[in-house]
Amino acid sequence: MKNSLLELMKKRRSIRDYNTRRKVTDSKLKQLFEIVKYTPSSYNLQPWEFIVVRSAKNKKRLRACANNQRHVEEASAVIIVIGTTQPGKIAEAVAEDRMKKGTMGKAKKASFDAAIARIGADRHRATIWTTKSTSLAAMSLMLAAQSMGMDSCPLEGFDAECVKKEFAIPSNYEVVMLITLGYRSKEPPERPMRFSYQQKVHSEMYSD
Amino acid sequence: MKNSLLELMKKRRSIRDYNTRRKVTDSKLKQLFEIVKYTPSSYNLQPWEFIVVRSAKNKKRLRACANNQRHVEEASAVIIVIGTTQPGKIAEAVAEDRMKKGTMGKAKKASFDAAIARIGADRHRATIWTTKSTSLAAMSLMLAAQSMGMDSCPLEGFDAECVKKEFAIPSNYEVVMLITLGYRSKEPPERPMRFSYQQKVHSEMYSD
């Protein structure tokens, strides 16, 4: 089986040792997010946003919110991946586009509006909702980085309140993930185990 | 910019019209999940599991739990993407592998065990936790399908309790997503709008 995505998935490793001299440029970032934007999302609402942190001072502040993990400071860039829990405003733009393209009529618009209102009305539901689509984008981001020869590492070990405070993130967002981004300085240790097909895939019905 | 992942992301569309005669074979499913398994996850716990639904009877039952969406019945396969909220048992296997490979000593093992216990202790926290890693795997799955010439569509509009009951999913799992899988019967309508780089990416700090 020759599959370039399989090769990409295998090449991607969670990298914690970065070449501190090799920088992630503006042009690379633009290319990266040009790939990420095609990620699918619930109602096409694209609830994700990204804060790109590259200054030494800000990486130090972010590291302090992230269990002092060294690669947060040493990676060329750290992406703070956030998701909105109040999609009302973006929903208007998305609905307008669909009505213009003729893929949303009056009945669809009414059920769309009702769904958006339901999401915004309950923070717990909204958090899970935004976490799903935003995590899809996070995976696209890591693969996009790899496809461009960059390395990355996803982090969940951080104090979200600290990150929100230090980076002026409004309260209606969730900090879903941090992703360090740069170029590996050495090969990572042997890849940790993966569970097998038999352990993960059930046929027709859940079975132990 | 020539980038094969970008091409793949663009080719991927959320497909709701499937060729009902073209089947997703066992061998394709094995290749698919061979790609998905390289998805990164929190503590490498790979909390995702998948139920592959292909029988006509079961797709009909699933459609009834999923707002009667036609493509759930018409796609060759539907993947029920679930995530565990009780990672204790899988954590043992993961820790054993890391200790064997020399990447987890006694101190790391203690903090790992404490982290696993914290996840399992709070259902709300565990739901968000499992949703993140499992959604990363869902994105890998859709891209893997596309890389193999298959089409897919993610669905969040379903009654999770209904899905759990009909497919015997234990209560300690969350139903994160459904993904229909098959081969498109016609081209989808024009791609809906995407927000621009300027609308989604902030530099150093959140800004309106």
Tell how strand B77-84 and strand B173-182 pair up.
Answer: antiparallel
Q: How confident is the model over B11-44, as pLDDT tens digits?
A: 999 999 999 999 999 999 999 999 999 999 999 9
Report the first-to-last Cα separation within chain A, whole angstroms.
Answer: 30
User: What integer is the mean pLDDT of A36-47?
Assistant: 97
Q: Which two tokens stand for residue A107?
A: 């009945």
Smallest Cβ distance to B194: which of A4, A46, A140? Answer: A46
Is this prediction's ipTM beyond 0.85?
A: yes
A:B CB pairs within 8 Å: 237
Q: How confident is the model over B123-147, as pLDDT tens digits?
A: 999 999 999 999 999 999 999 999 9
Q: How confident is the model over A54-83, as pLDDT tens digits?
A: 999 999 999 999 999 999 999 999 999 999
| Contact list, B54 vs chain A (CB under 8 Å) | 204
Question: Which residue, among A88, A166, A190, has the nearest Cα to A130 in the 3D structure?
Answer: A88
| Contact list, A58 vs chain B (CB under 8 Å) | 204-205
For residue A92, the distance in angstroms to the closest alpha carbon of chain B comes to 12
Mean residue pLDDT across chain B: 96
A81: phi > 0 → left, psi -120 to 50 → alpha, else beta; which?
beta
Q: Tell whether the model's pLDDT for residue A208 goes beyond 90.
A: no
CA of B155: which chain A residue's CA is closest? Answer: A42
Name the pTM for this structure.
Answer: 0.98
CA of A112: which chain B residue's CA is closest? Answer: B157
**Coil vs helix vs strand at B203:** strand
Give me the pLDDT at residue A155, please.
97
**Burial category of B34 from C-beta neighbours within 10 Å (exposed 0-12, middle 13-18, buried 19 and up):** middle
Inter-chain residue contact B103 with A202, CB threshold 8 Å: no
For residue B193, the distance in angstroms to the closest alpha carbon of chain A comes to 6
Between A24-28, A170-174, B100-104, B181-185, the lowest mean confidence (pLDDT) is in B100-104
Beta strands in B54-144 (DSSP E): 77-84
Give me the pLDDT at residue A1, please.
52
Give me the pLDDT at residue B208, please.
73
Give me the pLDDT at residue B2, please.
72
The model's confidence at residue B1, banded by pLDDT at 50, 70 and 90, is low
For residue A60, the distance in angstroms to the closest alpha carbon of chain B comes to 12
The model's confidence at residue A167, banded by pLDDT at 50, 70 and 90, is very high
For residue A204, the distance in angstroms to the closest alpha carbon of chain B comes to 5
For residue B105, what are the CA distances in angstroms to A166, B94, B98, B125, B189? 33, 13, 9, 27, 54
Share of chain A above pLDDT 90, in %: 97
